Amino acid sequence: MSERYPGYDVLSKRDGPSWNEPTRSAIDARLNVPREPRFFTPQEWRTLQALCDAIFPQDGDVDPVPLAAYVDQKMAENHTDGYRHGALPRQGEAWRRGLSALEAEAGAAHGTGFHDLAAEKREDLIRRMQAGKLEDSGWGGMPPATFFEHRVIPDITHAFYAHPKGWSEIGYGGPASPRGYVRLRIDRRDPWEPAEAKPGDKAAARRKNQRVR
């Protein structure tokens, strides 16, 4: 899968002693996330997908993680964070307003929809959102930078690193109950942990990773 940890797939441990039953159920459900939106309208869904592509690009990936689907699931099932910045409305309303404001900003600046923008123009608009430099009336008093920090970034990036594909890519050991770990010190690796490819010896790492169970 990834270059850094060649041949490592955290799912190869699914039926081994590092995954207990509640973990298997949770991850099975995650891998089966509904791909069609339940919360967002078709228009919002297009904008959200374009935003996900920019915030966390997966072009060229064989099997991209459906990031927009996880954002939709969080809103549809109302999984809240436990706090809300005083300048933001409730999470679903914040998303609806933010996506529609991004479309309005794209229209005003470029005469086209956000989802139709070329990549660099889209990224430029996002940088201005991050810096709080967008002022369309569609934001309705919601500060763009706060929306970016509290909704856009966490809701999209968490989705990737909650996914086994994200874990495999960064060489994370993943679920570990009940087996846990034995070798804790620096530069020590348990045989059920991912092996990093050292310069010139990717093959050794691949061999080790294919034995991970």
Partner 1 sequence: MRQFEEADAVDFVVVGTGAGGAPLIAGLAEAGFSVVGLDAGPFFRPLEDFASDETAQRQVFWTDERIVDGANPIVMGDNNSGKAVGGSTVHFAMVSLRFRPEWFKARTLLGYGADWPIDWQEIWEYYGRAERLLAISGPVTYPWGPPRPAYPYREHQLNGAAEVLARGCEAMGLAWTPTPIATLSAPRGDAHPCVYRGFCRVGCSTNAKQSQLVTSIPRAIRAGAEIRDLAMVGRIEVDEAGRATGVHYLRQGRWRFQRARNVIVAGYAIETPRLLLNSANAQFPEGLANSSGLVGKYLMTQSNQAVFGKMDQEVRSYKAPPSLTVTEHWNYCDEKDFFGGYCWMAQGPLPIEWVNVLTGSKGLWGRALREEMKDYNHQVGLKMVGEMLPDPRNQVTLTDELDQYGLPVPRITYSWGDNDKAMIAHALDQMQMGLEAAGARDVFRQENDTCHLYGTARMGFDPETSVVDADCRSWDIPNLWICDGSIFPTCGGVNPSLTIVALSLRTVDRIKALASRGDL
- Residues forming the site for partner 1 (CB under 8 A): 2, 4, 18-23, 25-27, 30, 54-57, 79-87, 90, 123, 126, 130, 149, 153-154, 157-158, 160-162, 166-167, 169-182, 184-189, 193-194, 196
Nearer to partner 1, 127 or 211 (CB): 127
Smallest distance from partner 1 to CB 190, Å: 8
Nearer to partner 1, 20 or 41 (CB): 20
Nearer to partner 1, 139 or 167 (CB): 167
Closest C-alpha among 1, 30, 27, 32 to residue 13: 27
Nearer to partner 1, 43 or 79 (CB): 79
Query: What is the Cα–Cα distance from 90 to 150, expressed in whole angstroms?
Result: 11
Assign 102 to helix, strand or coil.
helix
The single-letter code of the amino acid at 84 is: R
Smallest distance from partner 1 to CB 115, Å: 17
Smallest distance from partner 1 to CB 42, Å: 25
Contact 181, 190 (CB under 8 A): yes
The single-letter code of the amino acid at 200 is: G
Sequence-distant (≥ 6) Cβ neighbours of residue 176 within 8 angstroms = 18
